[in-house]
Structure 1
């Protein structure tokens, strides 16, 4: 039986497991040290644990007042379908309730966010470091 606990800081996070989960779900990933710094520099972080095992996470960068962007929402495949992603997403949104949120979903995952009230943007633009790869992966035109 799962006992999911949410944590709002980076204490005792296995950053190698963060990389592994991102790889398993087919999301972009970097070295464990880069992820550690990215989460440490984020306004809001949420880690989901089943007991002591990290099973999911997400983060937001924000001014804390009116704008925020959500990144790296991922749940280990063995734990998907248990509403953990929804818990993480809701926790992030509730932590900065005065903010409007933007995000880009992995292609094929848009419906998850639509069910949570997110809507497609008509004017979204992106300037990616690896623009050719992002176009090939379906993120840009």
Structure 2
């Protein structure tokens, strides 16, 4: 495994790198500035950097700080997959959410990965997507209706 440094410091992040990573995986269509705003408005964030200090991974949580937290935007550069870094990124964030119920939604292709990390699948969760996102969500099998 390569040397990877994890940090929650928002001031050391190059936001174009975050935007590139999230856009690559289709996790958002927001502009770089809106992505930055969403991370600054989050409860906790974790960033992963390689030995050259290039951003290779991100994850964030939105929370009331007491009882509930939701995880968003977990993304890891493809060349770092299958090295345990994504798991470390996830666990680094979850450790900061101790005592809270943690939820997330993910692509159907990654549900089993999260289950292997201890997450349980909900049978009763509901969501209102933006109208322009709903068709894609149907195609990707996020929703059945």
Tell me if 1:18 matches 2:18. Answer: yes
Structure 1 equivalent of residue 92 of structure 2: 91
- Decide whether the 8 Å contact of 1:68 with 1:102 is kept in 2: yes
Closer, same or farther in 2 for the Cα pair 1:61/1:103, shift >3 Å?
same
Aligned-CA RMSD value: 1.4
1:98 aligns to what SS in structure 2? coil
Using structure 2 for the length normalisation, give the TM-score.
0.90
* Number of residues of Structure 1 aligned to a counterpart in Structure 2: 141
Q: Which stretches in structure 1 are left out of the alignment for 5+ residues?
A: none
Structure 2 equivalent of residue 31 of structure 1: 31
Q: Which stretches in structure 2 are left out of the alignment for 5+ residues?
A: none
Structure 2 equivalent of residue 63 of structure 1: 64
More helix per residue = 2
Tell me if 1:128 matches 2:129. Answer: yes
CA separation in 2, counterparts of 1:26 and 1:132?
Answer: 14
Q: Which piece of structure 1 moves more, 19-28 or 126-135?
A: 19-28
Query: For residues 22-73 of structure 1, what are the alpha-carbon distances to aligned partners after superposition, in whole Å with 9 as ceiling and x for unaligned?
Result: 2333433421111100000000000000121100010000011110000000
Using structure 1 for the length normalisation, give the TM-score.
0.93
- Decide whether the 8 Å contact of 1:61 with 1:68 is kept in 2: yes
2:124 aligns to what SS in structure 1? coil
1:36 aligns to what SS in structure 2? helix
1:11 aligns to what SS in structure 2? helix
- Decide whether the 8 Å contact of 1:47 with 1:56 is kept in 2: yes
1:16 aligns to what SS in structure 2? helix
- Decide whether the 8 Å contact of 1:25 with 1:76 is kept in 2: no
Structure 2 equivalent of residue 137 of structure 1: 140
